Structure 1
Amino acid sequence: MSADSLKEMVERISWFSPVDYEILMFFEKYDIGLTAKSLAYNIEYNRKYVNERMRVLEDIGLFSNEGGIYELTDFGREFLAGNVDEDELPEP
């Protein structure tokens, strides 16, 4: 999914925060496991805010959290690939 496509999708989803776009762009580029603290450092956002948003994105199934390490789920990868319609995303 291109940056423009992802940004357009994020803008259409009313409850998405601007940092959600940054988080998803980071994980699209680097499909790795990461703590919220490391992610916040890499995308230059406040750690507490990133941690809060990661919990929301985890709750809707885009990420899993094992021992504080966040990773994209298969559903998250499908979302990034553009294979998930916005109505398929549960609202937190």
Structure 2
Amino acid sequence: MTQADDRVLETLADSDLILSPRILSANTDYSRHYLSTRLGKLRDAGLVDRVDDGLYRITDRGLAYLGGELDAKDLEDNS
């Protein structure tokens, strides 16, 4: 997990919207390309769902991670 991962999850959780890497990039300090890569990793870890081509939302597992119920080490071991 990276600082960008936390930022993406927080943005998705706070907005409660389905967002694209482009929109996430406009609201964070990260490039669209970098966020696309990180969203793939977050999807592999079950923290976000891709609901359509290029559109993502946070999962219950992602919310649990933000709430401190899941450890980042456990996520990396599973992905």
Interval of TM-score (by shorter of Structure 1 and Structure 2): 0.7 to 0.9
2:47 counterpart of 1:62: yes
Aligned residues: percent identity? 30
Residues 31-68 of structure 1, C-alpha deviation per residue, up to 9 Å, x if partnerless?
A: 21101111111113111001100110011100000212
Count of matched residue pairs? 77
- The structure 2 residue matched to 1:77, chosen from 44, 59, 63, is 63
Cα RMSD over matched residues? 1.6
**TM-score, length basis structure 2:** 0.81
Instruction: Tell me how far apart the structure 2 counterparts of residues 84 and 17 of structure 1 sit (CA, whole Å).
Output: 15
Q: CA, structure 1 residues 85+18, in 2 after alignment: closer, same or farther (shift >3 Å)?
A: closer
CA shift, 1:87, in A, is 4.4
Q: Give 5+ residue unaligned stretches, structure 1.
A: 1-15
Residue 27 (structure 1) aligns with = 12
Structure of greater Rg: 1
Instruction: Tell me how far apart the structure 2 counterparts of residues 21 and 75 of structure 1 sit (CA, whole Å).
Output: 13
Local SS of the residue matching 2:64: helix
Local SS of the residue matching 2:57: strand
**TM-score, length basis structure 1:** 0.72
